Amino acid sequence: EPEVTQTPSHQVTQMGQEVILRCVPISNHLYFYWYRQILGQKVEFLVSFYNNEISEKSEIFDDQFSVERPDGSNFTLKIRSTKLEDSAMYFCASSPRGGSNQPQHFGDGTRLSIL
Amino acid sequence: QKEVEQNSGPLSVPEGAIASLNCTYSDRGSQSFFWYRQYSGKSPELIMSIYSNGDKEDGRFTAQLNKASQYVSLLIRDSQPSDSATYLCAVPLYNTDKLIFGTGTRLQVFP
């Protein structure tokens, strides 16, 4: 069964450094998402992306965050200057079509640890 | 602020019993509802979706939806120790694909 794949599985970074998290969505999916989950807390929406544009973003997704689809397969989340509170699991998800009735399929996540 | 509420548990049931997991949501306009299973340290895994009032069955899982009461539940029949996980209720914000997650209910199935 097709899967969303994410790399790396664990990223350790010094505070203030830039980090890029990578995702390969399911191949025929057109809508892509990033969520995060701080340890012990809810899964939180960050951003949705379609047709090379951000469709929607949350309050968390401020100017230090950006997303990009640099080629036909990868979807990346960049955090420009990391803070301690950015430590979390970051999940990429994809769906074949947009809309509230479309199930989203999640990757295994990247654990980001900021020191 | 639209909310999705779940009892955090843990809900402990013996092997073979029915586990009943509940979720309420605040957005009256919500049309789609999803249940995800999350093992400790792992990612959410989609197990059920439901869009219409009533019951939807898939193997040992049954999702139940009551839009008037803004309530959605998940029943797991013949619970197995491998069902021990956190079950997340997720509801898209009205007219968007932004999923709002509950805190999840931790289910423990003991032999």
* A8 token code pair: 């790396």
> Dihedral angle at the C-alpha atoms of A65, A80, A63, B5, nearest 10 degrees?
40
B72-81: pLDDT as tens digits: 999 999 999 9
What is the pLDDT, as a whole number, of residue B46? 95
Mean pLDDT for chain B?
Answer: 95
Question: Is residue B1's pLDDT more than 80?
Answer: no
B20-72: pLDDT as tens digits: 999 999 998 899 999 999 999 999 999 999 999 999 999 999 999 999 999 99
B7 touches chain A (CB under 8 A): no
Q: Hey, what amino acid is at A91?
A: F
Which of A103, A106, A109 comes nearest B49 by C-beta?
Answer: A103
What is the pLDDT, as a whole number, of residue B37? 98
A73 exposure class (CB count in 10 Å sphere: 0-12, 13-18, 19+): exposed
Alpha-carbon distances of A48 from A61, B6, B19, rounded to whole Å: 11, 25, 33
A105 touches chain B (CB under 8 A): yes
DSSP 3-state of B82: helix
Q: How far is CA A82 from the centre of its chain?
A: 15
Measured between beta carbons, the chain A residues lying within 8 angstroms of B93 are 100
